[in-house]
Amino acid sequence: MGTMQSIILITGGSRGIGAATALAAAEAGYAVAINYTHNSVAADDVLRRIRQQGGTAITVQADVAEEAQVLAMFAKVDAKLGRISALVNNAGVVDQTCRVADMSADRMRRMLNTNVLGSMLCAREAVRRMSTRYGGQGGGIVNLSSVAATLGSPGQYVDYAASKGAIDSFTIGLAREVAAEGIRVNAVRPGIIDTEIHASGGQPDRARQLAPQVPMQRPGRAEEVAASILWLLGEQSSYTTGTLLDVAGGR
């Protein structure tokens, strides 16, 4: 990594896949900015664990769906750590299981604002800092998609699946747009991972209940997804961009 410490921003970094990625990134030598929306206790816990291991980290509060908050978050990371060279667009929401016929516009708007607009805004700010076109040193972006993008999640959350389908298209387009500017853009598509996100959708046992549908017969662990994210950001994947990597146990 040279003498300069690489700086990574992980949105939704306080829990689940985001927290696992923050810990793995710190172990790999990154200075880590842990973004959270509401749960400062969880974010502080990840911060403490990184510092206990001798790592460098800060927490930054922001709702990625709000442009002003995204701008303030990046300004804080610039000031406290420096210019990022890695972004993980992990912040995302699910909702209660529901048919499209019963979905409110507010629910759909929240889903798209956080999962799609939020990732796009953060990616925009990252490109402005990383791109050689803007005097940057290059870098990597990993977007969190989902195998739901290909399965559609009928009867559960088609709106969530659609938001992740948008992330897939955005990943491919942005990757090609900035490929000659030192930035690689990829996405990870997790399958059923045992994290707290299912509880927020009203199904805390969902990962274990759905395990029989997975060819590998078990839910994945957040650490397994984090490992793939770190690989996509690292030198070992230096010729990989615009790639959608399924981490889904064969689903």
Residues 6+ apart with CB under 8 A from 161: 146, 148, 149, 151, 152, 153
Question: What is the distance, to the nearest Å, from the Cα of residue 91 to the centroid of all Cα atoms in its chain?
Answer: 6
- Has 160 been annotated as catalytic? yes
Residue 92 phi, psi (nearest 5):
-165, 160
Question: What is the distance, to the nearest Å, from the Cα of residue 71 to the centroid of all Cα atoms in its chain?
Answer: 18
In what side-by-side order are the strands of the sheet with 86-89?
57-61, 31-36, 7-10, 86-89, 139-144, 183-190, 244-247
Residue with tokens 């090609």: 176
Residues 6+ apart with CB under 8 A from 86: 6, 7, 8, 9, 25, 30, 139, 140, 141, 142, 233
Catalytic residue among 30, 36, 157, 160: 160
Amino acid at 3: T
E-strand stretches of 102-237: 139-144, 183-190
Q: What six digits make up the tokens of 91?
A: 């912040």
Q: Looking at the annotation, which residues are catalytic?
A: 160
